[in-house]
Structure 1
Amino acid sequence: MISVTEDIEGTVTIRHGEGIDTDAIEDLKTLDANEDGGYHDDDLEIDDDDDTSTDGLTLKQVAMQCCKRIDVGAAVLPKPLFHPDIQDYDGSEELHDAAASIPTPYARVLGNEFNAIVVEHHLKWNPLCVSEPGPLPSEKPSDRIGRYDFHHADSVVDWALKRSMKVKGHVLVWHVTSPKILEDMEPEEVRKELRRHIFTVMGHFRGRIQVWDVVNEALAPDGTLADNVFLRKLGPSYIEDSFRWAHEADASAVLLYNDNKVEGIDSRKSDAFYELLADLKAKNVPVHGCGVQAHWNAAGVGWNRPPTPRSVKAQVRRLGQLGLTVNFSEMDVRVSQLPANLRQIAQRQIFHDLLAAALSEPAFDGVWLWGFTDRHTWVTHFYHDDEPLIFDEAYARKESYYGFRDALKTIAPGGCVGGGTLLSSDIDVDGNPWGHLWMQPDLVSHNTDEDFHGDSRPDWEQSIEVDDKEEDPRNATDSMELPPIS
């Protein structure tokens, strides 16, 4: 058993025995309390009675040794999961059955390394009803929002459950992937359809999916509510209504609010994220946790600069103090805009340090990569060619994989909480700021809080920094059409 004890000098020690006490980490809340209610990072030591080595373990094997339950998940697409090579898939043949005897390379790595999955695309409202008609006979996609096709989502969910993997549902309410026909409806009709959608999807997966991202990206970059179809038709109450409906649909489900650019404490949006959740909790809305997306650009400046470990730790801490769990819900790290010699350095440090900082807080319970191999990443569709994940295109482990795994080890026997990461300052003992080896100069950027009042566009339309205003995609009047997702 892993237990947390305090010796006569006040040092916190994690000991390794025969099993795992998933509640042990909670004891950190009360041991060696500081004035701010925390513990001293420098006072944490590891006493590994069995001298267990984690050098050869997979991610999920390391997670099994951690002193609390940690979801190590990845977003999953059905085609590479079941078809031998997505590049050869032309849509003319059926997906392989989930019980196929010969797994694809994608499936093998996913099953070996992860203990959880989230369906990346095929559980969103538009794919379920309009853009992914699946095997249903039709000459063209349907525009009737009441027509549901769960074929693709079912295949992924069933594959994971057969392997005892946790499944998270993503996402019930997100304006970007909701049917456009909602814009033409009267408010009461929108309300009825939104409620029906939540009950339909959660009802279909009741007992199989027990964790849901209920509402996604309801905040604009400046922290105001995004001016989306739900706000215009239903007002701000659509957020709490969605959570209440989700709880009615499945009272046993864990319900999460999810958003981006809220991972650290140093922005108006991250403050608004905290305040929104605090308000929901004060109203006794059934929200149980939150996801901070963690789509980071290592070369980002201004509004797009990655947060520091100190900032991440502080954000997780204050969200935890609301009684919420916190997870990295969509983690990837873009590096292609850095000089080639800095890319692996930056990516490994970001994966390690920001995850280690989050793991140092009791409220943090999981990390979900948005994909896991550079062979299949949404980044190439929505941003540019990049290598944002921890396995390369040939499914080989990258430097970022080892940074990720080392971060998990910080709360496993043989590790030290925080893993040597700066947690209480952004400046090291030599006077260097965190990330100084690769962080780009913070030049003037178009991306400031003031640019985005009420903006409902997704992050990929708002994060390209350009000098020519006429080419800036944020000046476009029409929302970007989403390209097909494999």
Structure 2
Amino acid sequence: MSSSSSSFITDERTLREIADRACKKIYIGAAVLPKPLFVLDHDDDDAEVHGGDAKKDRPKIKCATCSTVEPQDLTATNSLTRYAKVLTSEFNSVVIEHHLKWAPLVHSIPGPIHQTAPPSTRLGRYDFHHVDTMVDFAMKHNMHIKGHVLVWHVTSPPFLEDMTGDEVRECVRRHIFTTMGYFKGRIKMWDVVNESLASDGSLVENVFYRKMGPNYIEECFRWAHEADPEAFLIYNDNKVECCGKGYEGGDGVASDANCNAAPNQAKADGFYNLLKGLVQRGVPIHGAGMQAHFNAGGVKHQRPPTPAMVKRQIRRIGDLGLKVNISEMDVRVSKLPSSGSDATAMKIAAQTQIYRDILSAALSEPAFDGIWLWGFTDRHTWVSNFYYDDAPLILDENYKRKSSYFGVQEALKTVCPGGIVGDLTGGVDSSCYLEADHDSNGVPWGSSWMQPESDENEKELDTTKQGNPDWLQPL
């Protein structure tokens, strides 16, 4: 495939406009941050309000992930920031990237109350200021809002470790009722529990597991349903996006000798079995989120899944009666080879193909209802703060559409009038990679950029059982 956007038919419509034409309701969303949303950046154009020289004294917004918006930061203008203009034109949905997690609300930067305040140990002290402003902004622009996340051990207050099991249980219950109650009627969709699974598919031995026992996930969903019976409740996890051919049963056993396991088959099976158990016990759960933080140059557990693997995982979860979304997608490319005349072209091709083909395959499943990108411009990506310098999103640092943007656009058009559901590019026919990882000529999906497997043993470096997040795992 071509490495540039010139391989696509020019379409000036936004992603939101295309999604509006889809034959089924599709959330096309992005994670948002308050500072670039409300504060004019150093190169934003506000000449119509302040005159052409107004932006000379504005600082560049850096590391926006955990940033706060102070009164002195706000510019007295009715103009939207460039970030806000692109967000509202391209997306119909938002998810709060950082500020709605538990610790930022009650304990540490960007809350509580003020960024200069010391960490708080007062359990009832919540600072909803930043989330309020983002939620109100999204509602004003007719955007759907997903709350992320109520219970995740990585971003929970550290003082939970000093509590008894009964105290932690009551604290979690109060947090769910407090947060969901505050946003009831405004946030109608929630990631209730996040990343509770280790790489082997078992439960992480985190603070909730140790203090509340292995049924804490079920308890959280039941409390969330009590807090808002009308809310759509989701379980969300990472490295669970794919199921290998012949592994649909969820028991980690291949159905025949020709079966192929997925890169993270054990965790994907754990994800499926966790959801299946919750459904069978009548727990009020409605959806599953598969994060899709992909590393195009990864091997072993970091290897990108194929479209067929993603489709297969969505299909078996959909058979449980749940909706499925891609919840935090970005595609890192800096670990692909950086030398050689075609290195840049390879990175562009890989990123575009992953976005386009994974989304196209996902959209071909009836249970799939949307995709949220973890950001939308390379100017403000968490990857640069938590992993390494990269350009993982669909707009560049100047908000220009990249080839990967047009890949997403093409995928969305497959479920619009005139489109072909499941249409992919590559191989001997347009849909050859929907059910298999190779086309009929034996050419594997991603063959132009997928990296050869490594002989390195990574098991001894795996700390997922102790709850370390993905960015602290071996790369």
Q: 1:400 corresponds to which letter in structure 2?
A: S
CA-to-aligned-CA distance 1:369-414 (integer Å, 9 cap, x gap): 0000000000001100000000000000000000011000111112
**Structure 2 partner of 1:322:** 320
> TM-score of the superposition, structure 1-length normalised?
0.82
State the alpha-carbon separation in 1 of the partners of residues 422 and 474 from structure 2. Answer: 30
State the alpha-carbon separation in 2 of the partners of residues 95 and 334 from structure 1. Answer: 35
Out of 118, 133, 136, which is 2:95 matched to?
A: 118
Answer yes or no: is 1:156 the counterpart of 2:128: no
CA-to-aligned-CA distance 1:342-385 (integer Å, 9 cap, x gap): 11000000000001000000000000000000000000011000
- CA positional deviation for 1:452: 4.8
CA-to-aligned-CA distance 1:91-119 (integer Å, 9 cap, x gap): 79427779951111100100000000000
Answer yes or no: is 1:424 the counterpart of 2:435: yes
* Contact 1:304–1:447, Cα closer than 8 Å, also in 2: no
137 and 364 in structure 1: CA distance in 2 versus 1, 3 angstrom threshold: closer
- CA positional deviation for 1:135: 4.5
301 and 138 in structure 1: CA distance in 2 versus 1, 3 angstrom threshold: closer
Structure 2: gaps spanning 5 or more residues: 1-8, 43-58, 63-67, 244-261, 338-342, 424-429
> TM-score of the superposition, structure 2-length normalised?
0.83
**Structure 2 partner of 1:397:** 401
Q: 2:205 corresponds to which letter in structure 1?
A: D
* Contact 2:105–2:112, Cα closer than 8 Å, also in 1: no
Answer yes or no: is 1:210 the counterpart of 2:188: yes
Q: 1:82 corresponds to which letter in structure 2?
A: F
143 and 310 in structure 1: CA distance in 2 versus 1, 3 angstrom threshold: same
1:454 aligns to what SS in structure 2?
helix
Once the two structures are overlaid, the 10-residue window that deviates more, 438-447 or 268-277, is 438-447
Out of 73, 98, 103, which is 2:29 matched to?
A: 73
* Contact 2:104–2:112, Cα closer than 8 Å, also in 1: no
State the alpha-carbon separation in 1 of the partners of residues 85 and 115 from structure 2. Answer: 32
State the alpha-carbon separation in 2 of the partners of residues 310 and 147 from structure 1. Answer: 47
1:103 aligns to what SS in structure 2?
coil
**Structure 1 partner of 2:269:** 271
Q: 1:298 corresponds to which letter in structure 2?
A: A
Out of 361, 377, 384, which is 1:357 matched to?
A: 361
- CA positional deviation for 1:54: 8.7
* Contact 1:302–1:448, Cα closer than 8 Å, also in 2: no
* Contact 1:123–1:169, Cα closer than 8 Å, also in 2: yes
* Contact 1:124–1:172, Cα closer than 8 Å, also in 2: yes
Q: How many residues align?
A: 412
* Contact 1:75–1:120, Cα closer than 8 Å, also in 2: yes
- CA positional deviation for 1:136: 4.6
Moved over 6 A (4+): 95-99
**Structure 2 partner of 1:19:** none
1:314 aligns to what SS in structure 2?
helix
2:418 aligns to what SS in structure 1?
coil
State the alpha-carbon separation in 2 of the partners of residues 331 and 427 from structure 1. Answer: 24
140 and 345 in structure 1: CA distance in 2 versus 1, 3 angstrom threshold: same
221 and 56 in structure 1: CA distance in 2 versus 1, 3 angstrom threshold: same
| Within-5 A mapping of 1:171-250 | 171-250=149-228
**Structure 2 partner of 1:84:** 40
Out of 428, 433, 455, which is 2:444 matched to?
A: 433
- CA positional deviation for 1:146: 2.3
* Contact 1:292–1:326, Cα closer than 8 Å, also in 2: yes
Out of 406, 415, 419, which is 1:415 matched to?
A: 419
- CA positional deviation for 1:463: 3.6
93 and 125 in structure 1: CA distance in 2 versus 1, 3 angstrom threshold: closer
**Structure 1 partner of 2:279:** 281
Q: 2:104 corresponds to which letter in structure 1?
A: P
State the alpha-carbon separation in 2 of the partners of residues 407 and 139 from structure 1. Answer: 46
State the alpha-carbon separation in 2 of the partners of residues 72 and 99 from structure 1. Answer: 31
Answer yes or no: is 1:444 the counterpart of 2:455: yes
* Contact 1:223–1:273, Cα closer than 8 Å, also in 2: yes
| Within-5 A mapping of 1:41-80 | 55-80=11-36
